[in-house]
Amino acid sequence: MNLEICRQQFLETLIALDQDRGKQIIEDALAAKLPAEEIIAHVVNPAMDDVSARQTNLDITLSRMYIMARIVETALNRLLLAVPRPPVPRATVVIGTARGDYHGLGRRLVATFMRVAGFKVVDLGLSVENRQFVNMAVSVKAQAILASALLVHTAEELVGIRDILRERKLENEIKFIVGGAPFNFDPEFWTQVRADAMARNATDAVATVRQLIGVG
């Protein structure tokens, strides 16, 4: 078992909608001592990217997509238990998916990569109000808010986070970073929601947050 074989097998399993086999492939990969964070980065993430591209080309129906997403969720839940956590967090970030938006896989990948990179991550989950993002960031003294949106209209609403940060004079302490399909489709869109930055994927998210808040 290596990462490439594992990726191929996992993708075939998603296409075949075989939930039991999906679990087994992840167990086999962990048993073969492949590191959990590598499995996330080189197996689960690219398999999901492949599936997303097919869905965008309308090759996959929504009902099949639901089942695939559940296979990926199960894999992520298992792998998260195996990801090593650094003892002293570098900084704290709050992450969540925009209000009315129930796309969670990308957010969970970003959260995992941030944790692996040494950040404390407070994950508010799906459909988060703008005010909730800011209130939580203040209460845990977070240096950044990371907001995920996969639908154009939920992405547009994120501008409210900027308004609240401005109103409460928190713009110097809390950076605001966005990501998700609408921001990838239109590379200028993040400026419309007046974010401090966007990132295209989980690896770039880590680099962007590090740069913005000045953590090495």
* Number of amino acids touching ligand B12 (CB under 6 A): 36
* Separation between Cα atoms, residue 106 and residue 96, nearest integer Å: 10
Does residue 132 belong to the site contacting ligand B12 (CB under 6 A)?
Answer: no
Stretch touching ligand B12 by CB under 6 A, among 12-20, 21-29, 115-123, 149-157: 149-157
Minimum gap (Å) between residue 114 Cβ and ligand B12: 9
**What is the smallest separation between the CB atom of 11 and ligand B12, expressed in angstroms?**
13
Under the criterion CB under 6 A, does residue 11 sit at the interface with ligand B12? Answer: no
Q: Measured from the CB atom, is 32 or 66 closer to ligand B12? A: 66
76 binds ligand B12 (CB under 6 A): no
State the Cα–Cα distance between residues 149 and 51, nearest whole angstrom.
Answer: 18
The Cα–Cα gap between 140 and 138 comes to 6
How deeply is 65 buried, as exposed, middle or buried, from its count of CB atoms within 10 A (0-12, 13-18, 19+)? Answer: middle
Distance CA 162, CA 4 (A): 41
Number of helices (H), then strands (E), belonging to the chain: the values are 12, 5
Residue with tokens 């075989």: 18
Candidates 23, 46, 52, 82: give the one binding ligand B12 (CB under 6 A): 52
Give contact residues for ligand B12 (rule: CB under 6 A). Answer: 45, 48, 52, 55-56, 62, 65-66, 69, 73, 100-107, 109-110, 146-148, 150-152, 177-181, 184, 199, 201-202, 205
